[in-house]
Amino acid sequence: MLIVIITLFTNADLSIAMGEYSGNNLIFNGHNKLDVTTGEVEIALKDYTINVQADSHSGDVDVTNNPKNSKDNTLTITSDLGNITVE
């Protein structure tokens, strides 16, 4: 399991082959991408001024209704196998 302590990501391109990705009070600036091959993604945002796109080929996707449209900040999450939760 990967537990994130760093709360600020800027133009991040993260990949996880196998395992869980969990983080609280996260801020994503710029264009960010998270690709997970196998595992769960659980993210709690601190700043909701972001466009979130999430897609799991085999799993549930639950994205909070709180994000506000942003032309500058995006987060794209893809998972081949596993659930995605963004709060």
Task: Tell me the domain boundaries of the chain.
Answer: 7-86
Q: Which amino acid belongs to residue 3?
A: I
Residue 16: which residues within 8 A CB-CB, separation 6 or more?
2, 34, 35, 36, 37, 39
Tens digit of pLDDT at every position of the chain (87 positions): 666 566 899 999 999 999 888 988 999 999 999 999 999 999 999 999 999 999 999 999 999 998 889 989 999 999 999 999 999
Q: Please provide residue 22's backbone torsions phi and psi, each rounded to the nearest 5 degrees.
A: -135, 135
